[in-house]
Chain A
Amino acid sequence: MTDTTTTANPFAGDQSSVQRRETAVRWSLRLSTLLIVAVTVSIVAHIFIKGAPITFRSEFPFVNVKFLTELPGTLHVIYDKQGKATETDVNGADAIKKQLGANFREEKTISYSGGGILGPIVGTALLVIVSVVVALFLGVASAIYLSEYASKGKRVEMIRLAILNLAGVPSVVFGLFGLGAFVLTAPVFTDAPLERSIFSIPLGFTYLSFQGWDTCVLSGGFTLAFVILPVIITASEQCLQAVPQGFRETSMALGATRWQTIWRAVLPFATPGILTSSILGIARAAGETAPIMFTAALAFKDKLPWQKDLPPLPADASMFAHWEQSISRFLGIFTESVQALPYHIYTLAARIPHNEYSERAQYGSVFVFLVLVASLAATSIWMRRRLRGKYKW
């Protein structure tokens, strides 16, 4: 009994050296993590500090309405002899110069930095809508095929590998693909095929001409759809696989066909996950610059896509003519080129001389952009929480 104190410790070891190593490993891992957090926080803080004052106002209505509701334009800054600067647009410049008279010293013009950023916001929204609709349709269809119909084997594994590889393709390559495929080659119905048309099929009343859709929302949206397809296919397939096999068996045992089973007993329960992944896809699509550079986006455009001059209808035009014009105005939105937020930011940062005014426009755009993407991500998290609760099994 008294022996215990004198027994040699059978588990003796070099404690100090082991502990030192443990501590070193733990701290290096912790520091790496903290470094990442620090970088993220400083990026976000930098943009908030520089961008928020441009977007928000201290008095009612608390947001910079002009910045969010006007199209971008050239900013004119007029200095008087005392060095006081007055900002205006192209229409206001002359009046101010006349008013200053002999006191006028100089006028600076800064491209793209005046007005607001409504054009880029609308353009990005349209591109995202088209790309998500296209990508969801194609993506969910192929995920259903891969998960529910295709027999497991080498061929399906090859297809999966190809889809995963698609995710690794640089986005500028997608841009060039979009230029070749959608801008220059995709088929259109037209009465007068262009000379550049690769070939056109006469249909009697019109031609089906492979001359492309030009630079427009549709071309850009389709290109972006292919950028986000791998994400959507992979995520949708995982969501479908997560639906218990028992639901399929039960449904089949009740006499449902395969499609009925998918439509009634699989898809509804995979939808929350599919929607979540698609919202992350939206954030990705909204952020891409390279794929839309050659396919949809312009550095500058002084009209919104629906502000197109159509020939005025005669006074006695029929209902049908009005209806037809509304439709063509609506469809016209998708065949217009647009401005887009990421491309606008790129233009402000890299294509014009840098000064305090361009910087202001730039930080404002980046801030708005960041808030949009963050709110999309937040929506996805909220939706996942809500729907998970409803469809738990």
Chain B
Amino acid sequence: MDFAYGSKTALHGINLAVERKRVTALIGPSGCGKSTLLRCINRMNDRVSSARVIKGEVLVKGKNIHDEDVDLTQLRKQVGMVFQKSNPFPKTIYENVAYGLRVHGENDPEVLDEAVQRALKQAALWDELKDRLQAHALGLSGGQQQRLCIARAIATQPDVLLMDEPCSALDPIATLKIEELIHQLAHDYTVIIVTHNMQQAVRVSDHTAFLHLGKLIEFGDTERMFDRPKEKLTESYLRGTFS
């Protein structure tokens, strides 16, 4: 796939097959296009008016998501996303998790209760928060806020969960919790995570893709790639001797 912002091509000939119910990490230096690639998968780049796919396709569940008959709201319901900066709405914890269901027209309190409980459990927040669901979300710690954002993203039961540097604003302990959570989530979801922390990629992912200047340099099993990178470029990046 080729992808561009206006006349500036950001991604060149990316060809990548992500395995279901596995964690795939996208790594690479700043500006290499890993976030752009992530945002292609739920078409968040549509918000930038000059952004467009030059050629190629993004297949999710076998369907090219840039086809005209793809309903964006349905796509994003099935491809959830967690952002770099945790940004819970200034509402209650409950309303934050229920947001995605509400915008899809779900108003039945029983269904909502159940979905909120399930999402919070999956995000390992239920035990901490079950007694204060009506508390304000901004009263939570940074790590809890980010896990709440994960709960919000999985409340609609997507198939794919995209994470854009979800730990970069967190302290090491909160980071560790999120990483454990990612392992858990991989039982139910296909997780694609962008990270600039290579140790994190090793810790959480099954497969890793290394991007550089908008090109996919190497893609494969994480352990193998970090032990025996095939490409010179990958090796120098992983060894930190990057020029």
Contacts and interface: CB of A to CB of B under 8 A. Distances in A.
B104 interface: yes
Interface stretch (A77-85, A90-98, A253-261): A253-261
A20 interface: no
A250 B76 contact: no
A254 B85 contact: no
A255 B100 contact: yes
A252 B99 CA distance: 11
B102 A255 contact: no
Contacts of B76: 252-255
Given A244-B87, A264-B99, A392-B138, A253 B74 contact: no
Interface string B54-98: 000000000000000000111111001101010101100000000
Contacts of A106: none
Interface residues of A, number: 21
A175 B138 CA distance: 48
A265 B102 CA distance: 12
B42 interface: yes
B87 A246 contact: yes
Most buried by B among A244, A250, A269: A250
Given A253-B153, A254-B153, A247 B47 contact: no
9 closest cross-chain pairs (CB), A and B: A246-B87, A255-B76, A254-B100, A256-B103, A253-B81, A255-B77, A255-B73, A260-B103, A393-B90
Most buried by B among A253, A264, A265, A392: A253
B149 interface: yes
Contact of A393 (B83, B138, B153, B156): B138
B152 interface: yes
Contacts of B85: 246
Contacts of B102: 264
A157 interface: no
Interface string B12-36: 0000000000000000000000000
Nearest to B49: A151
B60 to A, nearest CB: 14
B83 to A, nearest CB: 6
B135 to A, nearest CB: 13
